[in-house]
Amino acid sequence: MRLPISQVIKRLRKEKNITQEDLARVLNVTYQSVSRWENDLAYPDVELIPLIANYFEVTTDVLFGTDETTVEYKRQEYLKAIKEQQNIYSDDDFKRFEKTLIEAIKSFPKDVFFQWKICSLYHRMGLECSKKNIEAMRKYAKFVIENDKSIDGIYRIGCIRVMIRVEDEDKLESWTKYVSESFYTSLPSILTSRYNYRDEIEKYNEQIQWNIIYALEDIFNRDFCKRDAKTYKNAKSRAEGQRVILGIIDVMSNPDEKMDAWLQERAMGYLRLAGGLVGSGEIEEGFEALEKAVDLYIKICNIPVGTVLKYNCPSLDLITRTVDDDFKQMNMQTIYNILSNSEGWEWLNPIRETERFKALLNKVTEYID
C-alpha cells in the first residue's frame, strides 16, 4: 500500500506494454534485477534512477511517487482499500483494516480523514479495544480536532464524540471543552451516548432525566408566545404562554412542596405572566402574578444553603438541585433588576409608579446585599 519505487516501475512498465526482459535490456541489467525491484526486494542503483526516469519520460518525482498525480493515486488506493475492508467479521478483518489505516497515516500524516477513521475503528470495536488503544486515539483525535478545516468539521466533531465516549473519567474534560453551542448536539446528549456505550446504566438513567430538565428549561425560555411586528412579542400571547408553562410545571411537581426544585422556573413563570397581563391591560391580575413571583423569589432566598431540592416527579426521581449562595443571590438579583430597571420589561411600566409596585420593590431590596 505504500506504493514505493518498485510499484511505480511496475506500473510504468505495464503502461508502456513492455516485459521485464525488455526493460532489463534497455538498462543493461539482468531481468532478475528488474524482478527484484518490482517485488520490493531491492532498489535500483542510484546511477540508474535518471536512466529509468528518462526511458519512461517522467520526472524522478514520479519515479519516487512524490508527484501530485501519483500521490493522489496512492490516496485513492487507500480509500478503495478502506471501503473494501470496512465490514469486519473477524479478528483478521480488524487487523487487516487497522494495518491499512496505519500505513495510510504513515503515507499521509497530515490527512485528517485517515486519523479520524482509525479512531472510529477502535471505538467501533468496543470499549475494551478503545482502552487498549487509548493513547493512539488521543494522539490521532487531537490532530484531527486541531487540523480539520472543513466547513462542517465532520471529522473534528466525530473525534470529539468518540473521545467523550471512550475517555477515562479523569481526562474527560479535555474533550468536553470542545463542545460548544455551535455543536449540532448538546453535551448532555453526548454524555448520554457515553453512558450508553459504556453500559453505565445508573449514570445513563440520571443523564436522561437531566436531559428532560434541560429540554423543558429551553422550551420555557423560548416561551409559548407569538411575535408582534411592533413590539417584538405580543403581551396577551405572553400571558397565555406563561399559563401553559406554569401548568406544565404544576403537572410535573407539587406546588405545595417546600423543597421544590421547580421554584426558580415557577418564579420566573409568574414574573413573565405578570408582564404579559399588565402589558395587555389586565392590571389587577398582573399585580397578583407579580406578588406571587416576589413571594417565590423570597422563598428561594430563605432556603438554607446546602438544602437539597427535589423535582417531586416519579420520572425525575434520580436528580436533585442543591441550594448554594450563588443560586440564591442570582435569583434575588434577577427579580431586583427587573423591578428596578424597565429595560426589556416595558410591559410593567404602567404600574411602576404605583405604591403597590414600589412596596414590592422595597420588599425585594431588603434581600439584596
pLDDT in tens, 226-241: 777 766 678 899 999 9
Fold designation for 70-199: 1.25.40
As a whole number of angstroms, the distance between CA 141 and CA 159 comes to 5
* Sequence-ordered list of residues with C-beta below 8 angstroms from that of 324, at least 6 positions apart, any chain: 305, 306
In this prediction, residue 181 carries a pLDDT of 56
In this prediction, residue 356 carries a pLDDT of 96
Helices and strands, counts by H and E, the chain:
19, 4
In this prediction, residue 256 carries a pLDDT of 66
Query: Phi then psi for 260, rounded to 5 degrees?
Result: -85, 120
In this prediction, residue 1 carries a pLDDT of 43
Q: Where are the alpha helices (DSSP H) in 148-257?
A: 154-166, 173-176, 187-197, 201-222, 235-251
What does CATH list as the number for 5-66? 1.10.260.40
In this prediction, residue 12 carries a pLDDT of 87
Q: Which H or E run includes 234?
A: none
Residue ranges in the chain whose pLDDT is less than 50:
1-3
**What are the grid coordinates assigned to 113, written together?**
480523514
In this prediction, residue 2 carries a pLDDT of 47
